[in-house]
Amino acid sequence: MLTWTEIETRAIAFQKRWKGCSGDERQYGQTFEKDFMEVFGVDWHDGFHEHPIISLDGVTNYIDYFLPGKILIEMKSRGKSLDSAFTQAIAYARALKPEAQPALILVSDFDTIRVYNTAKQHHYKPFKVSNLKAHVRIFSLLTGREADPNVRTEIELNTDASYKMAKLHDALKENGYSGHELEVYLVRLLFCLFADDTGVFEKSTFYNYIKTSNPDGSDLSGRLSLLFSTLDTPTEKRMKTLPDDLNRFRYINGNLFSEQLTPPFFSAKMRETLLECCDFDWTQISPAIFGAMFQGVMNPQERRELGAHYTSEENILKVIRPLFLDELYAEFERSKNTTAELQTFHRKLASLTFLDPACGCGNFLIITYQKLRELEFEILKLLSESGQMVLFDDPTKVSADQFYGIELEDFPCEIAKVSMLLMKHLMDQEVSHYFGGNFIDYPIRDNASIINANALRLDWNEVVPAYRLNYIMGNPAGNYGLIA
């Protein structure tokens, strides 16, 4: 059995070998599979390449690579939809005998890897082929080991993060800080924690700013008030004598830090709690579902079943795929024939508008935005390959301001706004890294329009005119329907 050090060394070699691969499935798929299994010390010949399978409708298909009981791999060329590849792989797995069911399903386009754990029914966060080393423990079963207990699911990670925020919420509330101000304060801290780990701020800038406060917490409230004010001030309007530890924070805009709040006061214990939150790796949390879980920390009764009431990404996709997403995937495939068709389809994506009239923490809007950005990313790759894209300008057209929501409660409304900003940053970051540019949207130019109001009494035309609206969507368990 290989040691983890040996596996990681092999993973690094794998990353180097496949960096910049043109990504043609027929030409390179089999070699990719062999190299991948070799990372974990598995003889590729122990499994089956192009394994025939008769689907439930009687059609014969072929699994790209299959190691019974362990893994099913489905490869796609660059530019092909990994969502479609995953749907295809799931159909293949269901047609297998129960004893042969794979523990893991992997789909890849030679650039990105997506993994699904069939036992936990869990989608791991997609990662780049160039970052396999950091994710090798997902594949513990391939090495002859039991599943690695240290590999946390997205739900477990989001729950851990929520409980950390719960400790901070309770400490502030016990000190007499409550209501709207507490809610806004927590949302601001959430943004800063996320920003510190994901490149909005320089790495650990927020952590270091907190760390240099007095150990007894006596000056932390004032320091945070100064920070929030700085984040709301354009660089050209800042005082020339502003200390360097504040001036290094970028201007955020977007009204997130504009409201004046009564400053809370921190004790030594409360300061330590905030530092514990800083120690968490916020790159692991999902803005799409964390908001709903974060809301649970505000209610001690809901906290006992934290995570039980949010709508998962899987269930959201069950609604939006048949409503519009599957049709968009199909149109994308048809648009690959010519550059003109791709550009027309790109403009169409940027013209669509969506409304969730009871959006809660914005899960449906955020997942929809993410899927449209992912689809746009595939368009941009193809346009870049054809030489039809100018890279010194931001090539993205899909915007957060295509999304509208109405929410009765104030706190989830604020969470929805900041969660959309966080998802937008992640998508901007992915495009920037791929094309070698800087297309990060700070200061913030656009965000979803989330209105704090009663959707049963509000004229929805005041939020978005009906003639501009393409889709109304949301939780089908709610008290309103779905309209296309």
| pLDDT number for residue 96 | 86
Q: How would residue 132 be classed by pLDDT, with cut points 50, 70 and 90?
A: very high
- Residue 438 in any domain: the answer is yes
- Overall number of domains in the chain: 3
Together in a domain, 227 and 166: yes
Whether 116 and 243 map to the same domain: the answer is no
Residues near 197 by Cβ (< 8 Å), separated by ≥ 6? 203, 281, 282, 283
Task: Tell whether 77 and 172 lie within a shared domain.
Answer: no
483 pLDDT above the threshold of 60 = no
Q: Which of 242-251, 256-265, 392-401, 403-412 has the lowest mean pLDDT?
A: 392-401
Pair 183, 249 in one domain: yes
Q: Crossing angle of helices 363-385/287-296, nearest 10°? A: 160
CA 337 to chain centroid: 30
The residues, any chain, with a CB within 8 Å of residue 296's CB and separated by 6 or more, are: 162, 302, 303, 305, 306, 307, 309, 310
Look up the pTM and report it: 0.71
pLDDT at position 478: 47
What is the overall mean pLDDT for the chain?
85
Question: Token digits for 308?
Answer: 């039980």
**Does residue 14 share a domain with residue 74?**
yes
Q: Do the domain assignments include residue 418?
A: yes
Name the one residue in this structure whose structure tokens are 């293949």: 92
- 425-434 mean pLDDT: 84
Per-residue model confidence (pLDDT) at position 444: 77
User: Which one of 140-149, 300-309, 461-470 scores highest in mean pLDDT?
Assistant: 461-470
Contact (Cβ atoms closer than 8 angstroms) between residue 128 and residue 112: yes
Percent of the chain at pLDDT exceeding 70:
89
Q: Check: CB of residue 411 under 8 Å from CB of residue 183.
A: yes
The percentage of residues in the chain with a pLDDT greater than 90, rounded to a whole number, is 42
Residue 379 sits in the same domain as residue 405: yes
Binning pLDDT at 50, 70 and 90, where does residue 404 land?
Answer: very high
Is the pLDDT reported for residue 150 higher than 60? Answer: no
Provide the residue count of the chain. 484
> pLDDT (tens digit, 9 = 90+) per residue, 34-77?
999 999 999 988 999 888 988 767 788 899 999 999 999 999 98
Other C-beta atoms closer than 10 Å to the C-beta of 298 total 19
Average pLDDT value for residue range 90-99: 86
If we measure between CA atoms, which residue out of 484, 199, 100 comes closest to residue 326? 484
The answer on 99 and 167 residing in a single domain is no
Which of 85, 115, 143 terminates a domain? The answer is 143
The residue ranking higher by pLDDT, 483 or 374, is 374
Q: Domain containing 60: what range?
A: 4-143
Instruction: Give yes or no: residues 214 and 277 share one domain.
Output: yes
pLDDT category, 370, cuts 50, 70, 90? very high
Is the domain of 339 the same as that of 461? yes
Residue 350 has pLDDT above 50, yes or no: yes
Same domain, 37 and 73: yes
184 and 108 co-located in one domain? no
Whether residue 300 lies inside any domain: the answer is no
Would you say residue 479 lies in a domain? no
CA 65 to chain centre: 28
